[in-house]
Amino acid sequence: MEKEPEFSPEESLKIIATMINKSKGSVADNSFYFLLWGWLVLVCCIGQYVLKVFLHYPNHSIVWLSMPFAGIVSWIYGSRQAKQLQIKSFVTDAIQIIWMSLGITMFVLILIILASETWSNSLTYFILIYAIGTFVTGKFLQFKPLIIGGLINFAIAAISVRFSANNQLLLCALAILTSYIIPGHLLRAKYQNQKH
């Protein structure tokens, strides 16, 4: 049997740091997901608010029908990216598993809400899911804007139950702005700077 190479603590830390930096580049390159879903959810929240509050349109939730299309776009983009991915690490795999789990959680939550016809505070649960995903991803990548966005979302989720369903739409828009859109653009900018 071949003997495993032995590394000093300094070499081990350097290898770990290199893997994290490579994962940062991979995820930053995929900030596409944060930006796609962030902007879409933001537009849907504000769109539903306008349709419901200002236009008094009875089918105001119709804006959310755009979500499956975004899912298809994400799947196509992800399939193409997987073919091009040269470096895969534990961190990259862990982040993919976390978001896959949270995506399934959101889907199941939607089914529960539809079956129970109880929309009261439903956005609070989605904000909480955004908080978990961005906070954990930020911790894995050591990227402060995602960590801060996650923490802000935990706070927004905690206070959102005090607001009406209409105002929860605006809080959800704020949550997505702080956890997906701003960190997504910062992650993209950092990746672009590292490439040059």
Per-residue pLDDT of the chain (196 residues; tens, 9 = 90+): 555 566 677 776 676 666 666 655 555 566 899 999 999 999 999 999 999 999 999 999 999 999 999 999 988 988 887 777 656 677 788 888 999 999 999 999 999 988 988 788 899 999 999 999 999 999 988 899 999 999 999 999 999 999 999 999 999 999 999 999 999 999 888 877 766 6
CA distance 21 to 42: 30
- Sequence-separated (6 or more) residues with CB below 8 Å from residue 73: 36
Question: For the residues of 173-190, what is the DSSP string, one character each?
Answer: HHHHIIIIIHHHHHHHHH
Q: Is 117 left (phi over 0), alpha (psi -120 to 50) or beta?
A: left
Q: Phi and psi of 128, rounded to 5°?
A: -65, -40
Question: What's the token pair of residue 147?
Answer: 């960590």
CA distance 72 to 3: 47
